Chain A
């Protein structure tokens, strides 16, 4: 017992004295992620308080805040129910066609939320306001809970559940008292991601006409180009994000649940569903239809029906290429940036590591437009050449999507015993060689999943892309947006279809790579 405590303490101590290179790199990445926040804070502080308070303390802000809150509350709850339920059915029961169901539960990731909103609002005229928004964002984002929870369920030691069953607990009680507490980190992590996405969501909510803080920032910017007004709302958004981040940290608690077993995985004991098989299968099928088949079908229908269905192929092709290029560049850049942050937070647990890791989350909760505006402010002052350059856009994607890669890499690293890295070091490898010959190859699935999540985010990003993209550069998302917001459903359809098409391989990578045991 004491030895293991000692070993665990040893794990927290730096191996070699002096500042660690990785620590410095990770801190630089975190500082970089915090730039938009600093810009907003500085601008808010510079604005006279009377002006800020007049902009913030008015009924409209309260209304937007309430809308944001009930959307986050409602959708996160639904995402947990759907995500955990589906994950349990797929990983722990004798449900038929489990592989297929797993793919279907990850597939909504390939359908951008605004395409979903477009499909629903064009098919169901009443899909508007709160209920419409709730349905659309829940169907789009529940995989963010499903993926980590399914991975955690696969990694859990079955022996604990069996021990609980032998103590006389019913399956339901086993789930509630043994399994659920251990899923807490995965559920909270997924919920946090959903909440941050919702706080920042713009396209889908604008299409179903449900105003939140995020859509208001965009409207303010569009209507007035006035810094102070959009800034005031943005600063409220930042506070909401900080609240969410600290709330999750508080709920997460200090307990460490992750048990890292190097041994061979035991085949899971599956709960027979019996008479519940048909209802469960039907429920999941309905979910897949609503989240995937309906938007895809709607896109296809609009494309076939659309008056402008004869879209110019060269334009489509050029747009697809530029989307792929930007998405891949962002995926590569963000994965490289995420490595030191993830490594630090897993191998050097402590205040600095937590601070750095959490800081990188801040960007995700900010609407793309806020990040873009902040980068424009800084960029124009520091490196004016870069304004409206592809580089600047990739930087914005990095700030927005860093946590996606960090979360993936962390999961992978947690499953790689540190002894493996130490053994490599005794075999004569320096830190760079350990990274290149051990960490990267072993973490390939996690790296792939993280990069794919970033690609999905960048490929479907709207507001930052509209603001920062180089002149003449169009992406599938922005083209879709300009057509669908002009209610040209037919013209928008080909872009939506292509968006789903380029997203599909990335979603497939996510379904394969997330939380997979290396090797």
Chain B
């Protein structure tokens, strides 16, 4: 398994000039009793003011990572720092209550006995008696506005709210004490499609407006890429790649990372002087090939990066053609045997059985 950390600076040698990371995780290792290791020396750095998404399939260890950062579990090995302070790994672990973190659970976890205002103000006062004081009321109104909820909601009880509203209140509650970082554990996965879109947009807006540092755990690549400034792809208990959404999508370091972010055609071939030689012919290469000419390699081409044109003399045949409304997905089999997925405009799309000519107009990204 590749352990390349992509664009993230090498761990352990942070230059003195660099800003202190909001969260720094080093060598995090954890195994549940009677199971395989879930985290295998994971390194991660979250820059202040950034929203960082941790993306990965089920069981890759992303929830374990979040629980270790929050302090809900003590990892077997490795260190966690929040705002430059070591909270786990040296000496006694700092308990969650002293980590200055905000936490938004999968299902909101609102306090069922408090109304919306009481939930939001919960972390503000050492004693519940003061939660209705004017200062808190102002802060509650501020936060309701920040997460896009009607101020009239302040007196509702949690069970009177929709799932999306509950999540917004949970976010407001977590933001209220101005924590140094916010941890979001798949906060939209329990919502239906519509409220999911709305709530995630409201969350992104609230996080940006507050300039909040956030760690977002998700298994949805679209959510990760639209909400986050940077995406860390977890595989096999380590960060396989960490970079901007564009970077990890266009220039994945491995086939696994490429497919985690979306559909990808993996073309096998070898490096030639002119670029990359594969079943689609000789293609231009993005950047400089990392390997000498003649060495075998894999090129990654997203379905929208392939162009097809109906041509009776073409060297490929359309196997299936699926209409998606905003676009159209074709599965094309090359005469050489390889199968390629193509996404293009739905107007004038070829039909199944058509012979087509396949072209890749943009330079191809090669895996190392």
Do the beta carbons of A426 and B35 come within 8 Å of each other? no
**Contact indicator per residue, chain B 111-145, by CB within 8 Å of chain A (1) or not (0):** 11100000000110000100000000000000000
Is B32 an interface residue when CB atoms closer than 8 A count as contact? yes
- Chain A CB within 8 A of B177 CB: yes
> A17 at the A/B interface (Cβ < 8 Å)?
yes
- B168-187 residues at the A interface, CB under 8 angstroms: 170, 173-174, 177, 179, 183
CA–CA, A420 and B108, complex, Å: 8
B252 at the interface (CB under 8 A from A): no
- Pick from B33, B128, B163, B170: contact of A423, CB below 8 A: B170
The reply on B106 being an interface residue by CB < 8 A is: yes
**B164 proximity list for chain A (CB < 8 A):** none
Question: A16 with B173: in contact, given A6-B38, A426-B102, A427-B122 (CB under 8 Å)?
Answer: no
0/1 interface trace, chain B 61-95, chain A, CB 8 Å (1 if under): 11110010011111000000000000000000101
Q: Are the CB atoms of B103 and A422 closer together than 8 Å?
A: yes
> Interface digits, A242-283 against B, CB 8 Å rule (1 contact, 0 not)?
000000000000000000001110000000000000000000
Cα-based distance from A342 to B39 in the complex (angstroms): 32
User: Which of A7-15, A108-116, A499-507 sits within the interface?
Assistant: A7-15
- A1-45 Cβ-contact flags toward B at 8 Å (1 or 0): 111011101100101110000000000000000000000000000
Q: Is B158 an interface residue (CB 8 A)?
A: yes
**Interface on B for A, CB 8 Å cutoff?**
32-33, 35, 38, 58-59, 61-64, 67, 70-74, 93, 95-99, 101-103, 105-113, 122-123, 128, 157-159, 163, 170, 173-174, 177, 179, 183, 219
Question: A417-B107, A427-B123 in contact; A422/B38 too (CB < 8 A)?
Answer: no
Partner of B70, one of A13, A17, A426: A426
**Contact between B58 and A15 (Cβ–Cβ < 8 Å)?**
no
Residues of A within 8 A of B110 (CB): 420
Say yes or no: B70 contacts A442, CB within 8 Å. no
Is A519 in contact with B112, judged by CB distance below 8 angstroms?
yes
Residues from chain A with a CB closer than 8 A to the CB of B173 are 423, 427
Complex interface residues of chain A between 394 and 423 (CB less than 8 A to chain B): 416-417, 419-420, 422-423
Task: Indicate whether A62 reaches chain B with its CB closer than 8 angstroms.
Answer: no
| B97 close to A264 (CB less than 8 A) | no
Q: Is the CB of B32 within 8 A of A6?
A: yes
Check if B170 sits within 8 Å of A17, measured CB to CB. Answer: no
Task: Tell me whether B177 and A13 are in contact (CB under 8 A).
Answer: no
By a CB distance below 8 angstroms, the chain B residues around A429 are 97, 123
Task: Among A1, A426, A430, point to the contact of B58 (Cβ < 8 A).
Answer: A1
User: What is the bound-complex CA distance between A498 and B10, given in angstroms?
Assistant: 78
The answer to whether B97 and A419 have CB atoms under 8 Å apart is no
Check B174–A422 contact: CB distance below 8 A: no
Q: How many A-B residue pairs have CB under 8 A?
A: 120
Most chain B CB inside 10 Å of its own CB: which residue of A5, A262, A263: A262
**A441 within 8 Å of B by Cβ?**
yes
Contact: B74 with A430, CB < 8 Å? no
Judge whether A293 is part of the interface by a CB distance below 8 angstroms: no
Chain A residue nearest to B159 in the complex (CB): A519
State whether B63 touches A6 (Cβ < 8 A): yes
Residues A423 and B103 in contact in the complex (CB < 8 Å), given A438-B111, A519-B159: yes
Residues from chain B with a CB closer than 8 A to the CB of A262 are 107-109
A325 interface residue per 8 A CB criterion: no
Contact B70 A422 (CB under 8 A): yes
Please report the C-alpha to C-alpha distance between residue A349 and residue B354 in the assembled complex, in whole angstroms. 61
Contacts of A425 in B (CB 8 A): 71-72, 95-97
Assembled-state Cα–Cα distance A30/B169 (Å): 40
In the complex, the answer to whether B63 meets A7 with C-beta atoms within 8 Å is yes
Could you list 28 A-B pairs, sorted by A, with CB under 8 Å?
A1-B58, A3-B59, A3-B62, A5-B59, A6-B63, A10-B32, A15-B96, A17-B74, A262-B109, A263-B163, A417-B107, A417-B109, A419-B106, A419-B108, A419-B109, A420-B110, A422-B105, A425-B96, A426-B97, A426-B101, A426-B102, A427-B123, A428-B123, A429-B123, A430-B95, A438-B111, A441-B113, A519-B158
